[in-house]
Amino acid sequence: MTEPRRRLAAIMFTDMVGYSKLAQADEAAALSTLEEHNRLLRPIFARFSGREIKTVGDAFLVEFESALEAVRCALEIQQALHEKNGARSDGPRTEVRIGVHVGDVVQTDGDVLGDAVNIASRIAPQAEPGGICITQQVYDQVQNKVPTPMIRLPPVALKNIRVPIAVYRVAPTWEAMAPARPTAEPALGHNLAVLPLSNISPDPKDEYFADGLTEELISVLSQVQNLGVIARTSVAPYKTAPKSIAQVGAELGVDSVLEGSVRKAGNRIRITLQLVDVGTQRHIWASTYNREVDDVFAVQSDIAERTAEALRLELASTGRASTDRLPTANPAAYDLYLRGLVASREHENHGIEEAVRCFEQATQLDPTFAEAFAAWAEMYVEVGGDHIAFREVMPRARELAARALELDPNLSDAHSALANIAMQFDHDWKRAEEEYRKALELNPSNVGAYRFFGLLLVAHGRFEEAREVFRRGVRLDPGSSMLRNALGWVDAEMGDFTTAIEDTRRECARNPFPSHDHVFHGLTYIQAGLREDAVKEADRPLAGTSDVERFDHALLNGILGRPEEAKAVIAAVERGEVSYYVSATDLAMLCAAVGENSKALDLLEKDAREGDRTLWLYYRGIYFDPIREDPRFIQLLRDDGLPTYFGRRRAPT
């Protein structure tokens, strides 16, 4: 027996993606793929003086004399596999994840043991398929010596490793050679708020027209280059609680405000508008339009042009306002479209049903009305998974978005809808990212695209990018609780608990009543190790809250070890006694939070087979920690192309 010998070494661990699933489906094909994988990798190890220690099924453990040689070898492996997969027309793709660490190892009987081996094997799952992860020790030795970017990830807590470690993602060579594709940047030089137009029509029922026209003006003005236009959700509160221009400017962070009124009588409209500079209170321009309803698009174009000229900006070449194409020449179709826009903001069943009726009739009256098809698709992707099962709405949403783009390939909302379908329903992450980027290129003020694109980035652990995307969204929609809480979520994922708690505390201050904001605040406290503060949020009385908020409240208490409320909600859902939509993944959260792990996994597998498949959005949540290392849970993540392991970021105790 050889005497154990301790030394410093660079250790690489490689792991094939999807091999176990392939072996279960077709053992012969799996063995053939494994042999091909081994034949490709072994010569590359040798070229970089790598010593193969052992293979464990579909994994290699390899030792190198230097960290630089190990990283260069890893890049060569991924490049070779990338090229081979690109040339393959059929059969399974071969992808591996690679982890590299430098540290002490103990050699005995031809094997190596120690933390260096454990760490290399446990950071490999942090890499994406075809990706490479390295530790801080490796980064320190190879930075500026390899031709690819290295992106720092949040510290990772690894099993049986005492302290969290810093991890970097090494961009593959083909990604490094591609030109950077920054997310579209909303305007920083000038920001505008379009306040809700006052309805002064003889018939109060024409309120929808003023509300819908406000949304249309926001959309049209978003086509002005270098102008950030505040989202509808942030200006809507000023309809019922009007404030001075100075107050609006301070609260929304805008330079100018567009305000006015609409009077509709039959087919005649009178629109009075004024653009006001926040700093000086000076009217930049003011105008009154007396037109027929079917001339409303000319009014919108004139408003955009006058605003752009006054602010010394330009209209985007792809914007609707700068083209000769009218969205519709049918006044009745446009009227139904506006009614549908307003109804679609009411996400209860009656609002959804009314919106569908209006959009359907509008597109029947004018089958070339691209904006109506896009708005209809956007409504479906907004309510899918929260109010209606994805399987009931996403196929139809896909048809509607595709029809909208056939009619007008430059509709940002249609690209955003397709991105959402690719992400939430197809789990086609690459297509989703491409469509989100296209949507934001066409309209850098598309807040919905920022919101959902940020969620995609979080799901794949791209926290720095997600934080910037959410920040851009908040600049355009400062009243959005969802976006601000999402920022807190990202800060917590990155281990910045002080900022995360401050983010969620601000939202609670804006909404002092028990709500989802307080539950999110409580979850952040738990992750930060502040149980007593989390209990205070969980102990808030529930009078006047919605059924959905009661569900969230039960989840928080379940995580805190107080299962009674959660079990009562589970029972009520199973008996069909709740008035709101609950997916199988929603129910699995509650079950995992109260220790019903097997039931939670059954629900998640059921959801993967036939349901909404929303695990991608929630899998990082604390409530799933009890089942995180279960092979069934890991397999679900693999099936969805998600990271299968990440360290829970917790504050130091």
- CATH 3.30.70.1230 segments of the chain: 5-177
Pure H helices in 10-149: 19-25, 27-47, 67-87, 115-123, 136-142
Residue 1 has pLDDT above 50, yes or no: no
pLDDT at position 318: 46
Q: What is the pLDDT of residue 579?
A: 76
**Nearest CA-CA partner of 570 in 549, 554, 546:** 554
For residues 456-482, average pLDDT: 90
Rounded CA gap, 39 and 111, in Å?
A: 22
Give the pLDDT of residue 551: 85
Cβ(380)–Cβ(397) below 8 Å: yes
**DSSP state, 128?**
P
Checking if the pLDDT of 163 tops 70, the result is: no
Q: SS3 sequence, 311-339?
A: CCCEECCCCHHHCCCCCCCCHHHHHHHHH
Residue pLDDT, tens place only, 56-104: 888 899 998 888 899 999 999 988 888 887 766 566 678 899 999 988 7
Q: CATH assignment of 5-177?
A: 3.30.70.1230
Taking only the tens place, the pLDDT of each residue in 367-383 is: 999 999 999 999 999 88
Cα 118 from chain centroid? 32
**Range with the largest mean pLDDT of 265-269, 451-455, 463-467:** 451-455
- The confidence score (pLDDT) of residue 635 equals 92
pLDDT (0 to 100) of residue 392: 86
**pLDDT reported for residue 319:** 44
pLDDT, position 223: 82
Indicate the pLDDT class of residue 647, thresholds 50, 70 and 90: low
Confidence band (pLDDT; 50, 70, 90) for 177? Answer: very low
Domain with CATH 3.40.50.10610 in the chain: 191-325
The first and second tokens of residue 385, run together, are: 């998974």
pLDDT at 376: 94
Does residue 112 contact residue 56 with C-beta atoms inside 8 Å? Answer: no
- Summarize pLDDT for 284-297 with one digit per residue, the tens: 888 888 888 878 88
DSSP, residue by residue, 400-458 = HHHHHHHH-TT-HHHHHHHHHHIIIII--HHHHHHHHHHHHHH-TT-HHHHHHHHHHHH
Is residue 305 within 8 A of residue 321, CB to CB? The reply is: yes
Q: Name the nearest CA neighbour of 596 among 573, 579, 612.
A: 573
Whether residue 325 is predicted with pLDDT greater than 60 in this model: the reply is: no
Q: How much of the chain, in percent, has pLDDT values that exceed 70?
A: 89
pLDDT band at 160 (very low <50, low <70, confident <90, very high): low
Percent of the chain with pLDDT over 90: 32
Say yes or no to pLDDT of 644 above 70: yes
Bigger pLDDT: 258 vs 90: 258
- How many C-beta atoms surround the C-beta of residue 548 within 10 A? 18
pLDDT of residue 90: 64
Q: Which of 35-39, 177-181, 370-374, 634-638 has the lowest mean pLDDT?
A: 177-181
- Give the Cα separation of 80 and 91 in Å (integer): 17
Say if residue 320's pLDDT is above 50.
Answer: no
Mean pLDDT of the chain: 84
pLDDT at 455 over 90: yes
Q: Tell me the DSSP string of 2-15.
A: PPPEEEEEEEEEEE
User: Residue 366 contacts by C-beta under 8 Å, 6 or more apart in sequence?
Assistant: 328, 329, 330, 333, 372
Rg (CA), the chain: 28
pLDDT at residue 617 tops 60 = yes
pLDDT exceeds cutoff 60 at 183: no
Q: What is the pLDDT of residue 545?
A: 61
pLDDT in tens, 264-312: 888 888 989 899 888 888 888 888 888 888 788 888 888 888 888 888 7
User: Residue 104 has what pLDDT?
Assistant: 78
Q: What is the DSSP string of 164-212?
A: -EEEEEEPPHHHHHSPP-PPPPPPSS-EEEEPPPEE--SSGGGHHHHHH
Q: Which residues of 196-209 are buried (b: 16+ CB within 10 A; e: fewer)?
A: bbbbebeeeebbbb
Question: Residue 179 has what pLDDT?
Answer: 44
Coil/strand/helix, residue 264: strand
Contact 230, 267 (CB under 8 A): no
Looking up tokens 């500079």, which residue turns up?
A: 277
Per CATH, domain 191-325 is 3.40.50.10610: yes
